[in-house]
Chain A
Amino acid sequence: MSDPRLSSTRRPDKAGFVIAFGLAALALVVGWDAWRLSSINAHSAVGPAAFPTIIAGGLALLAVATAAEALRRGEVERPRDEFAPMAWVLAGLVGQIVLLPLLGFSIATGWLFAATAKGFGRGPVWAHFLAGTVLCFLIYVIFAKGLQLALPAGPIERLM
């Protein structure tokens, strides 16, 4: 993907700039935290701020290098990503977090299964949700009872 011939125009790579900006922001956060720590008196030769300072410096250098690379190499063509399938998978993950405290592991994770399957083009959602919930209940029984993992319980799990 890094073949420079792919770029027909010499416009800079926008994504590269965004990544460079993100790295610079991260460098600032790590650097700020190191600065805060350095004001605390440490009792050893090297305090807790030394290593973060090195990392912040490295991140800042990499931000510059990434920006330079984006300028030099120009726009890179990347295959277009489809948004809808990703949105389904993300909805599955967010939904699981929301449902977990109220409805327990089986239902929340059943929803995750159904939403992911839908994202990969397999419906209907309700049938996968039912199948997923049954499957996850079996997993719950095996792992929570057999291996003593502390998985969040909901109405179904409390029936046991």
Chain B
Amino acid sequence: MDTFAALSQGLTIALQPINLLFAFVGVMLGTAVGVLPGIGPALTVALLLPITFKLDPAGSLIMFAGIYYGGMYGGSTASILLNTPGESSSIVTALEGNKMARAGRGGPALATAAIGSFVAGTIATIGLALVAPTVVDIAISFGPEDYFALMVLAFTTVSAAFGSSVTRGLTSLFLGLALGLIGIDLQSGQARLSFGIPDLLDGVEVTTLAVALFAIGETLSVAAAGARADEIIEPVKGSVFMTREDWKRSWKPWIRGTFLGFPIGAMPAGGAEIPTFLSYALEKRLCRKPDEFGNGAIEGVAGPEAANNAAAAGVLVPLLTLGLPTSATAAIMLAGFQQYGLNPGPLLFVTNPDLVWGLIASLFIANGMLLILNLPLVGLWVRLLAIPRPWLYGGILVFATLGTLGANPSLVELGMLLIFGLLGYVLRRYDYPIAPVVVGLILGPLSEQQLRRALAISVGDPLALFQSPIALTLYALSALALFGPLLFFLLTGRKAPVGADED
């Protein structure tokens, strides 16, 4: 089907009043959780999974995507005004943005972040609509051995991209893979790692693990930090309107950020953090007034903010076309698809074109809503930052346990929430990334399925895994992702930039 015909068909679905409402709720929630420290889009979507179980799939997924996009907008607000990035992809924004806010230029900083996000989000969503059908055409010919190689690539890049070292990333990933083993093996009917506990036969719920690692783990580590973590909110001073000079200095970084963010997000390497670091470095080099960098240069806000929104759209390419999540939020959105019995991948574009294209079209609408929500209403969001932390974290835990109980009202489930929460605290304390654990739990069983399917076709000959050119290419890329940082170090003598964790 012609892309534009499909997209306009999708637009008629996205414009239905009920779906507009879902998109609106999504972007509101997303902005709010993006602004608030301690909760992010991944956690929010995880909490909403059990509640949306009975709702319409298209509407719920539109809402989840709105939360994802909204989180990217809201994260910048917290970065600029609080110097505490609400999201990891806004870490770089805090560098220049908070300096601008302290210099009384918080308004223009917020404006360039919001408009840049809108420009980048719109261009990147067009990119998503154009690229997705091509990827689908290629992916249709993938065999199980190619899918397995693709997942190996996702594993290695997720472990290498997040966290402070590859060993730590891989450790997190293998924890997730081990948790993914728990439960009944669907092919042989054997119970694995269940130790005779009936509640474990169904496996570990994605919701429970994500909520525990993100909400409980985060709360414990902030509580343990005590007075160490006090924050100062910078009031928004001055006009939110940008001057002619601000516009002149912003538009090129927006475009450059977009073209860094979208491709990197769309690669199975994924993540929104790396392009923000690259964009910051690029703008610093290109800026006419390099001495302003470090003291509040608007380019240092415009570029990275555009890059993280473009990457958010990019991440949806492998998610929708290959069923491959490359960030924690994408992993939980995959679980969202699965709860409706939908499997993202090339077939979804054939079996549920209305849903896929409705979702893509709704992203344009969400972007427009977010621009309106974030510019004139920024004062409203700032007030969220003033919620006292005891109440904020108390509320986070109430909703965390509510979401878990809603999915499965059992005390064992709450016990698992507690244990995984402690695990989340230990991971944070010793600098291990969180996202690979969640990705491992979701992708582990899927990759095992592909592996066994491939080996069943070859009657158990493992060499068959390495005979397809596609698979070989993907393995080469995986090796590059694992050993790339080492190579970078050997060639330049500097440590490669790594992404941070997202929640």
- A13 nearest CB neighbor, chain B only: B430
**Which of the listed residues B222, B390, B421, B431 has the most CB atoms from chain A within 10 Å of its own CB?**
B390
* Chain A residues near B452 (CB-CB < 8 A): 44-46, 50-51
Q: Are A37 and B190 in contact (CB under 8 A)?
A: yes
Contact code string A54-82 (vs B, CB < 8 Å = 1, else 0):
01001100100110010000000011011
Determine which of B171, B185, B401, B409 lies in contact with A112 in the assembled complex, contact meaning CB atoms within 8 Å: B401
Q: Which residue of A lies closest to B224 (CB)?
A: A81
A-chain residues with CB within 8 Å of residue B395 when the two chains form the complex:
113
| Alpha-carbon separation in the docked complex, A37 to B185 (Å) | 11
Contact residues in B for A2 (Cβ distance below 8 Å): 164-165, 431
In the complex, the answer to whether A55 meets B181 with C-beta atoms within 8 Å is yes
Judge if B301 is at the interface, Cβ distance under 8 Å. Answer: no
* Chain B min CB distance to A59 (Å): 5
Q: Is A159 engaged at the interface, CB distance under 8 Å to the other chain?
A: no
Does B418 belong to the interface (CB within 8 Å)? yes
Q: At the interface, yes or no: A120 with Cβ under 8 Å from chain B?
A: yes
Contact of B50 (CB < 8 Å), options: A47, A59, A94, A149: A149
Q: Does B469 interact with chain A (Cβ within 8 Å)?
A: no
Residues of chain A contacted by B402 (CB below 8 angstroms): 109, 139, 143, 151
Q: Cβ of A19: which chain B residues have Cβ within 8 Å of it?
A: 171, 430
A132 in contact with B224 given A29-B193, A100-B411 (CB within 8 Å): no
B-side contacts of A118, CB under 8 Å: 390
A86 touches B167 (CB 8 A): no
Q: Would B394 and A132 count as touching, CB distance under 8 A?
A: yes
Contacts of B181 in A (CB 8 A): 30, 33, 51-52, 55
Beta-carbon nearest neighbor of A94 in chain B: B418
Contacts of A78 in B (CB 8 A): 429-430
Instruction: List residues 6-61 of chain A with CB under 8 A from any CB of chain B.
Output: 15, 19, 23, 26, 29-30, 33, 37, 40, 42-48, 50-52, 55, 58-59
Size category of the B interface is 35 or more
The answer to whether the Cβ of B310 comes within 8 Å of any Cβ in the partner chain is: no
B52 to chain A, nearest CB (A): 9
Minimal Cβ-Cβ distance residue in B for A87: B223
- Interface with A: B14-22, B248-256, B322-330, B455-463, which one? B455-463
From B165, B221, B398, contact of A113 by CB (8 A): B398
Chain B min CB distance to A149 (Å): 4
Measured between beta carbons, the chain B residues less than 8 angstroms from A160 are none
Among A29, A47, A122, A151, the residue within 8 A (CB) of B391 is: A122
Q: Is the CB of A45 within 8 A of B456?
A: yes
Question: A85 an interface residue at 8 Å Cβ cutoff?
Answer: yes
Q: What's the nearest-Cβ distance from chain A to residue B448, in Å?
A: 4
Is residue A155 contacting chain B, with contact meaning CB distance below 8 A?
no
Asked if B238 is at the interface (CB within 8 A of a chain A CB), the reply is no
- If over half of A's interface residues share one DSSP class (helix, strand or loop), that class is named, otherwise mixed; here it is helix
Minimum CB–CB distance from B441 to chain A (whole Å) comes to 12
Task: Tell me how many residues of A have a C-beta within 8 Å of chain B.
Answer: 69
A139 shortest CB reach to chain B, Å: 6
Assembled-state Cα–Cα distance A139/B399 (Å)? 9
Known: A46-B452, A55-B177, A82-B226. A89 touches B220 (CB 8 A): yes
Q: B164, B221, B425: which contacts A1 (Cβ < 8 A)? A: B164
Indicate whether A93 reaches chain B with its CB closer than 8 angstroms.
Answer: yes
How many Å lie between the Cα of A143 and that of B54 in the bound state?
13
A128–B431 Cα distance when bound, in Å, is 33
Q: Does the CB pair B167–A62 fall under 8 Å?
A: yes
Instruction: Give Cα distance in the complex from A66 to B50, angstroms.
Output: 37
Query: Nearest A residue to B184 by beta-carbon distance?
Result: A48
B289 part of interface (Cβ distance < 8 Å): no
Report the minimum CB–CB distance from A68 to chain B (whole Å).
Answer: 9
Q: What is the CA–CA distance of A58 and B171 in the complex, to the nearest angstrom?
A: 9
Bound state CA distance, A145 and B358, in angstroms?
Answer: 31
The reply to whether the CB of A135 lies closer than 8 angstroms to some CB of chain B is: yes
- State whether A151 touches B405 (Cβ < 8 A): yes
Q: A33-B192, A97-B411, A101-B411 in contact; A149/B401 too (CB < 8 A)?
A: no
Instruction: Specify which of B187, B393, B394 lies most central, judged by the most chain A CB atoms within 10 Å of its CB.
Output: B394
Q: Is B134 positioned at the interface, with any CB of A under 8 Å from its CB? A: no
- Nearest Cβ on chain B to A40's Cβ, whole angstroms: 6
1/0 per residue, CB under 8 A from B, across A103-120: the answer is 001000100111011111
Nearest residue (CB) in A for B412 is A97
B395-452, CB < 8 A from A: 395, 397-398, 401-402, 405-406, 409, 411, 414-415, 417-418, 421, 425, 429-431, 448, 451-452
Contact indicator A119/B228 (Cβ below 8 Å): no
Cα separation A66 to B216 with both chains bound (whole Å) = 25
Q: Which of B167, B397, B414 has the most CB of A within 10 A?
A: B397
Interface residue ranges of B442-498 to A (CB < 8 Å) = 448, 451-452, 455-456, 458-460
For the complex formed, measure the closest distance between the CB of B209 and the CB atoms of chain A, giving whole angstroms. 16
- Min C-beta distance of A105 to chain B, whole Å: 7
Instruction: Knowing A93-B418, A116-B394 are in contact, say whether A148-B54 is a contact too (CB < 8 A).
Output: yes
7 A-B residue pairs with Cβ-Cβ distance under 8 Å, sorted by A, are A93-B414, A112-B397, A128-B394, A135-B398, A139-B402, A149-B406, A151-B405
9 shortest A-B CB distances, which residue pairs?
Answer: A122-B390, A45-B460, A120-B390, A81-B224, A117-B390, A85-B223, A48-B185, A116-B394, A82-B226
Task: State the A residues within 8 Å of B (CB).
Answer: 1-2, 15, 19, 23, 26, 29-30, 33, 37, 40, 42-48, 50-52, 55, 58-59, 62, 65-66, 69, 78-79, 81-83, 85-86, 88-90, 92-94, 96-97, 100-101, 105, 109, 112-114, 116-122, 128, 132, 135-136, 139, 143, 147-152
Which residues of B are in contact with A by a Cβ distance under 8 Å?
50-51, 54, 164-165, 167, 170-171, 174-175, 177-178, 181, 185, 187-188, 190, 192-193, 216, 219-226, 228, 388-391, 393-395, 397-398, 401-402, 405-406, 409, 411, 414-415, 417-418, 421, 425, 429-431, 448, 451-452, 455-456, 458-460
Besides A51-B448, A81-B224, 4 new A-B residue pairs in contact (Cβ under 8 A), listed by A number = A81-B429, A82-B225, A97-B418, A139-B398
